[in-house]
Structure 1
């Protein structure tokens, strides 16, 4: 009997986090109907998403920000929280559909990552959680920026391109804070601020890419389609940095703070 209970608990440790994400994703999809029903389903999805994060934290005994499963889920949560503000600001049903689809996409990506219930003692530093919070908040803002920028190709509305730029700038600031906090945590944990591995190199490339885009957009007056294309490509660079580099990835790199 005890063995059966133990097996069920082990199964739930795997199945539970998946359900925590699939349920809100279902409600987010239902929110695409629009109108009052859409708002109701979105709020229900957001509450389920928050509840899932809370239950996940209760299960593992700390903030659920320590592995890819949780980090990607957090990124989707930040996107979902930003969604109603952008919807009110832009008021375009087509863009609303695109943003919700992006949220659901990353929830499904999160489901494909196996949740981990253990944490390294080095990750118990407050600096680690500060770093993860800002780092993946930046990814969420970059994603929304690319989403708005992609929709600009359809709408040709200059206001959409301006919103894309502002979201990218907010993401870049958050990304910068994440890099600073991550470097401090790495120094506290391992005695050094930075390792010039492939991962850190591409984090630097991502930071400079967005810095150049923001600078060109603000100082040089780069606007319209060229600026929008640069912004969308920036998110592709950021995604490659996160998913394409590391042990066993496209570009090999040892595990680092990023």
Structure 2
């Protein structure tokens, strides 16, 4: 163990607080910009899913849909149908629907896209300011800035936004996540500043280790990425229900149609969530192993059935079951989605519930 550092630098701690509150203000502006993107985005370019499924039903009945170009798709009955040519066509998780991805929140219009680009720019600015707050917090005590739940929370939301922006930077079409992301980031920061705030201070001896940098930072990154996968999964459930209702000849409400038509298809959302969860699962495995090694150094035992250890393992098992079911049992669609959301709920409980409601060796500084 390294000796405890000197007392916290109160000036840097105060600067950190100002930066976190400033980031919340910028994220709020980004929230309204995302709302404007959805509101001012064109509604004339949505409705392609309904057109595709209407044409598919007509084709299954042996009747081409009137007034549609000669673009064919396969139907569940083995026939063909015609529909307006979409930009992207994806097979649904159930394998029974071929539907296009939505045009996005902006609806493909110049005005909506302008608000969307403003929203992303504000989100990036909020990320930089919040990251500055996390760094200032670290400098104020000269240690890793995740020694308590407040620090973990501000780092978690920073990491979630960072992963989202990284996906955008490499060309992934994830702008549809923006509104949900900034909303939940504001909720996370609100809880952190209102109920979880802890004065900048030094660590208890058990935490004063280089493993704090390795184990906890990996856990934060995994949780932030799991969050994006869970958001995609939740949207998948809404979009899949919408597609199923249209396929059955139903007529969803105007608001639901306006929003859900702009999202990627259910198949695309299902694929996005699966890839996110599969990519980060090995890192979660490493997180648990690293925690066990750290426990051996700090407490003399690699595993002590501490609540945090138990629920970290439960989360691992839940995600392992989800990935195993996808890979071997062929689970796709709603069954897999429910299991993925259960796994993320285990992660959330492991963070909030275990830390606040249960006592264990991982309880430090009140929260």
Q: Which shows bigger deviation, 105-114 or 179-188?
A: 105-114
C-alpha distance in 1 between matches for 2:123 and 2:312:
33
> How far is 1:133 from its partner?
0.7
Structure 1 residues 113, 17: CA separation in 2 closer, same or farther (over 3 Å shift)? farther
Q: Deviations over 1:195-252 (max 9, x none)?
A: 1133322222111111111111122221112211211221111111221124x61xx3
C-alpha distance in 1 between matches for 2:334 and 2:173:
18
C-alpha distance in 2 between matches for 1:202 and 1:84:
30
C-alpha distance in 1 between matches for 2:279 and 2:27:
25
Which residue does the alignment assign to 2:362?
256
Between the two structures, name the one with larger relative contact order (CA 8 Å, sep ≥ 6).
Answer: 2
How much is the aligned-residue C-alpha RMSD, in angstroms?
Answer: 2.3
C-alpha distance in 1 between matches for 2:301 and 2:184:
36
Which residue does the alignment assign to 1:89?
172
Aligned length: 245
Which residue does the alignment assign to 1:30?
29
Q: Given that residues 24 and 46 in structure 1 are in contact (C-alpha distance below 8 angstroms), is that contact kept between their aligned partners in structure 2?
A: yes
1:36-55 residue pairs with structure 2 within 5 A?
Answer: 36-55=117-136
C-alpha distance in 2 between matches for 1:79 and 1:243:
17
Match of 1:67 among 148, 154, 161: 148
Which residue does the alignment assign to 2:197?
114
Which residue does the alignment assign to 1:3?
none
TM-score (norm 2): 0.61
> How far is 1:40 from its partner?
2.5
Unaligned runs of 5+ in 2: 1-8, 34-114, 241-265
1:65-214 residue pairs with structure 2 within 5 A?
Answer: 65-87=146-168, 88-93=171-176, 95-111=177-193, 112-115=195-198, 116-156=200-240, 157-214=266-323
- Larger relative helix fraction: 1
Q: Given that residues 141 and 170 in structure 1 are in contact (C-alpha distance below 8 angstroms), is that contact kept between their aligned partners in structure 2?
A: no
C-alpha distance in 1 between matches for 2:210 and 2:182:
31
Q: Given that residues 138 and 145 in structure 2 are in contact (C-alpha distance below 8 angstroms), is that contact kept between their aligned partners in structure 1?
A: yes
Which residue does the alignment assign to 2:36?
none
TM-score (norm 1): 0.85
C-alpha distance in 2 between matches for 1:182 and 1:142:
19
SS of 2:354's partner is: coil
Q: Which shows bigger deviation, 109-118 or 40-49?
A: 109-118
Q: Given that residues 215 and 291 in structure 2 are in contact (C-alpha distance below 8 angstroms), is that contact kept between their aligned partners in structure 1?
A: yes
Q: Given that residues 288 and 313 in structure 2 are in contact (C-alpha distance below 8 angstroms), is that contact kept between their aligned partners in structure 1?
A: no
Q: Which shows bigger deviation, 146-155 or 192-201?
A: 192-201
Q: Deviations over 1:15-46 (max 9, x none)?
A: 65443322212212322313332232122111
